[in-house]
Chains A and B, each alone.
Chain A
Amino acid sequence: MTGPSQISRRLFLKGSAVLGCSAAAHPLLNTVTFASAPGENRLVVIILRGAMDGLDVVQPYGDPSLRELRRSLSVGPAGGALDLDGFYALHPALAPLMPMWRAGELGFAHAVSTPYRDKRSHFDGQDMLEAGTGMDVAPSMVRDGWLNRLLQTMPDVRSQTAYSVGAEAMPVLAGSAPFLAWAPDTRLELGGQAEALFEALYHDDPRFSGPAAEALEISRAAGDAGAKADATAIARFAAQRLKEETRIASFSLNGWDTHRGQAGSIRRSLDQLATVLMTLKAESGPVWGRTTVLAMTEFGRMAAENGSGGTDHGTGGALIMAGGAVRGGRVYGQWPGLASGDLYAGRDLRPTADVRAYAGWAMRGLFGLQSSRIENEVFPGLDLGRDPGLFV
């Protein structure tokens, strides 16, 4: 079962008007039962669903093979991309993020992937990305996500510590550790008598009592976050929670499956991503300096352009990192080259690092988690490898 049901069932019973408890006894309002907060650092994980084309977002224009593989896409600075370091250039749609790059608050890791290989299915790829497992375990066998396993290692997690934001379920946060799930445009307000009746109605069925209790609680705690659940509202809601007790937030951005007309379609998704990162920065205020954002996707796309101005499913891709806590202004990773002999399976960017290692090093830096726990509990079987130095 997922976290919210367990924590909230407890809330429902304790906070229930039926049982006559006062609000002061409520665990959300009265946190003395918890010893200490899990530190001041914040981690935001954005799942980019649909397989973002890393080669187009962070264009390795210094590699001469890029031009041979792609005629219309990923043209580099000559096509308006913004030079980053003489080898890589940023897709022009991310131009609004250049100030963040120059301030050292935006960085990338290139030629990364999960351990997922060869079948190139979005859905298996996302399952594996969120389960955080390797090819030796079928993702369908794993019931929790790696963010939840991170929470399980923390000694003093409260219900507000982790938030899944938006109407979509986030398997990366699912598991036995408590977290809250909410969409910013939803509110639930019931009158006293109706609330008591609903509590009694759901009392014996935890599938209902948990979510209902949580809905009532968050409606009270969150106030009016705005009317629309677009990406901006989601980012704003996440930032507001991060300013309070929340230390981990996760949501997804869709629309990266650019099989055709990629020049236009990826621009819309990148616009949205830029807006989300700028909103997180603007709305989180002073805690931006303690925040690390990781935007990850299930796999990259084929090195060559396809017959319809798009790209088909591939393997290696890029990780986007942002936040005041992260050491940005650089593209991490070892570049494998795009010459035909360098490609994975003769067609894809060859991964030279496991994207989970970057997430692992981020956890180590942000929450002081031991390497052995990262390699055994959060990402079982992962070799963290050398410290890439994500933090100053």
Chain B
Amino acid sequence: MPTSSEVTPVVEVEKGRRPAGSTTRSAKRGERKGAAARVLGFVNQKGLTPAIVVVLMIVVFWAMNPSGVTLNTLSTLFDQSAALLMLALAQSLVVLMGRIDLANSALASFLCVLLVIWLNTLGPIAIPLVLLLGVAIGALQGWVHMYFQIPSFVVTLAVSGIVGGAGLIASGASAVSLIQNFELVQWFYESPGGIPLAFVIGAAIAAVLAFFVAKTARGRTLKAIGSNQRATAYSGIRTTVTVVLGFALAGLLIGIAAIMTVGQLGTASSGIANSLLLPSIAAVVVGGTAISGGTGGPGRIVFGALIIALLRIGLDIIGVPQEFQPIVYGVIVIAAIAITVNRSRTLSVV
């Protein structure tokens, strides 16, 4: 079988037929930009905006309350953002496919409860079991969504109710605490040489996922489906398999988030991670992934998650009361989506 490079040109189409078309390239070359515009363009193109925002935020919080920003708070920042980062990564895969996972934090809470109970009763096997269950529930959600053609937000909203109830039942509607095997999950929060391990592992997982999405054929199909599912199917790609795989992968990440949460707190309840749903979506969109799917991805999430975690801590540092914080996330999600959403299609003028 010849590869494409060995195939001789099948057709020769005359070049330069239309003078109008040939101007595109020369116009681009002739473009002169100012240095500032070039830097901004580079930052935008490489998705560096979130990173710059992180630095700016630290500076601003420090300026407002110099004594509040210490190495200690920064270390707390990384610890706190590890689980959020996992959930945001999970969310980003789903959002990349043009779907949304509203069960993500409820599933994490449920897995936290099971992890504590199983660590207490079954021992170390609890960890792979929880990860497996995360994968299975994720895959099942994806399959139900695709097979029955139910919108993902409906399926996942329903699942969040189901796992929430299951968590209540499993935990007996009260907090459950680890009585043994704490060391199996706690090591995440050690900081050998001052490096917060949980966050480093999170960032490493993000890097692997970013590679998966950007550089592998399978990963690219997630993006293609998010951009245009029909055209993807017409390219001979099995869309159901891909979506199920995406949700399964998200389930795995949610399992890791559960392990991290239990590792940090040593205890679990049926609602322990529930408050992370909105922040996980916020981290995805603030990181620059379009809520409509197809653009962005896990590579941009690390800083998105940091921004959201920084906000939590930063708002504390500058003295914004807890109860105002969900309001801030809500506003941020809307603002970030307003910036990233593609409105060109709705602006049609005859």
Q: A and B, one complex?
A: no
